[in-house]
Amino acid sequence: MAILVTGGAGFIGSHMVWALLDAGEEVVVVDRLSTGFRWAVAPQARFYLGDIAKPTVLKQIFAENDIEAIIHFAGSIVVPESIANPLSYYENNTENTRRLLSAAVKAGIDKVIFSSTAAVYGLPDKPLPVREDAPLRPESPYGQSKLMSEMMLRDTARAHGLCYVALRYFNVAGADVQGRAGNSAVGATHLLKVACEAALGKRSSMSVYGTDYDTPDGTGVRDYIHINDLVDAHLQALRYLRKGGGPLVANCGYGKGYSVLDIIEAVRRATNADFRVDYAPRRPGDASLVVADSTLAKQVLEWTPRHDDLGVIVNTALAWERRLEEQATPDIDDLRRRLASGF
């Protein structure tokens, strides 16, 4: 039986596909390529170019493949964009998750692993780390759209016997330690990728939003988790569901934080590049400090992080960025455009 990965051509999804293949799984990918790339999908996976919002797409996939479980990454993830255009986030994240769950129930698929976010917590009341039972008060339509999807999973499980794991990610960073995948987004908003691009001269400067937070250096502090550790948590979630595990919501992070300036300094040390940094006011929806308590994932899913090291996170991200830089020839750029359009 196969595992369906929605959004499998994106940053996290492409890593997930490689991890599943490494584990000997049969993998089916569906992606509309709005932000992902066809070339990012491992060639051993079966690929469908399509939008899960269209019932015919899922109907075809379920008819042509024996799907055991769904790992659902497809969605929009930029907090400021969600504030500017909330309805598109409720459509792409919440409504499309509803469509996917409806199709899964009809097809008799009873295992779902959902890509959620620490944004469901909003601004924490207490000192960190944040546990799963903390108050859920999203500050942005992005966080709200993910929380609504979690609620749909819960209710679908009660009504139809669905088994699911919702993993609340903290800040996902780095790139595949084997160099097969990385963050290839155009116009990236992830802090580490932006810093790597600035250090390598791909952008003239980068911005820091907010220097007056109640943190040691005044900039926001986040829990950065290496992408390989994150996808391994999904593998563990799949094993958990196969063993009959019930509905679970769990954090994915390391339990410690680095500030925006910490990340910038780490990139400067790794590249010996002194790139320009501009300072701007805070953005709406940004919390000062968010760090995970991932005890539940470690205990219930038996998840053991292996890359909890800022140097590893930064160096793998830089290695991938350099690889993209080396490939940035007119022929490769043209090929990427044609692959992304479904050529």
Using DSSP, state whether 29 is helix, strand or coil.
strand
Residue 19 token pair: 């991890």
Tokens 């139809």 locate to 160
Give the up-direction half-sphere exposure of residue 151: CA atoms within 13 A in the CB hemisphere.
Answer: 11
CB atoms within 10 A of CB 105: 15
- Phi then psi for residue 281, to 5 deg, are -65, 165
For residues 174 and 320, what is the distance between their CA atoms, to the nearest angstrom? 9
Distances (CA, A) of 166 to 43, 184, 256, 280: 28, 25, 21, 34
Rounded to an integer, what distance in angstroms lies between the CA atom of residue 166 and that of residue 63?
A: 26
| Residue 21 to residue 204: CA distance in whole angstroms | 38
Active-site residue numbers?
Answer: 142
